[in-house]
Amino acid sequence: MDKPGSLHRPQRRVLLLGYSGLVGQALLELCIKSDQVYEILCLGRTQPPFTHYKLRWEHSTLLEPGTDAGHYTAIDRVFCCLGTTLRKAGSLEAFRRVDYQMVVDAGILARQAGVPYFGVVSSAGANTQSRLPYARTKGEVEDALRRLEFDRLSLFRPGLLLGDRSESRPAEYVARLTYRLWDFLLPRSMAAVAAKEVAAAMLLDSLKDDQGTDVYDSRQIKILAGLLPR
């Protein structure tokens, strides 16, 4: 990883998907504060919770890629923080529509528009061979994005995300309350991590001009997040 002092780059124009979620909200706030980002385009169903001169919102269901293609023009970085749960989605098909199809469609549009960087929130345990639908879907997403051959692709695989959600996720809520009782049993690569740390790691990673694919687990996310100047 580069030292913070080597990361000064021209300002970026970024597109943010999933800005209403834990990581997305934190990343939006960091982009607003960053002097490395001059414009943030939020693409989604609902308006962001605040206004700012850097911020622009375009309504989209993210279900009709053809209508969204123009939004990816002249974008320097795409951050994808889309995600739901099987319980909230109501079915495996509905879950995959968000966690697989929307993410892969965004990747295709970004690649077609020549966006050089795509950063996405995946998950610890992402594996196409997993018996768990969630982990298997995340693995399939990663494989699909790799095949697009971005100049730079960054996959972030956090464990349990810590933070205050606006929506109710009972199982995750219980896990957050009790994670200190069992988190020490997990390898550091799968440990719980604050959503703000994931957001910080994503922003800092996006400022680099390296090429290729990077995969960040929870341990690496925490390390990278700690390098972001406060």
Helix (H, G, I), strand (E, B) or coil at 68: helix
Q: What is the pTM of this model?
A: 0.87
Alpha-carbon span 222 to 158, nearest angstrom: 10
Annotate 159-216 with DSSP letters as a single string: SSEES--SS--HHHHHHHHHHHHHGGGS-GGG--EEHHHHHHHHHHHHT----EEEEE
CATH topology classification for 10-225: Rossmann fold (3.40.50)
Identity of the amino acid at 148: L
Alpha-carbon span 81 to 204, nearest angstrom: 16
Question: Residue 118, Cα to own-chain centre: how many angstroms?
Answer: 9
Residues with Cβ < 8 Å from 131, sequence gap 6 or more?
Answer: none
Domain ranges within the chain, ordered by starting residue: 10-225
Alpha-carbon span 15 to 61, nearest angstrom: 15
**Which whole-number Å values give the CA distances from 152 to 12, 17, 90, 111, 118, in the listed order?**
15, 18, 34, 11, 7
Is 154 within 8 Å of 216 (Cβ atoms)? yes
pLDDT of residue 10: 63
Catalytic center residues: 134, 138
pLDDT tens over the chain, length 230 residues: 444 444 445 689 999 999 999 999 999 999 999 999 999 999 999 999 999 999 999 999 999 999 999 999 999 999 999 999 888 899 999 999 999 999 999 999 999 999 999 999 999 999 999 999 999 999 999 999 999 999 999 999 999 898 775 555 555 544 444 445 445 555 566 688 999 999 999 999 999 888 999 999 999 999 999 998 87
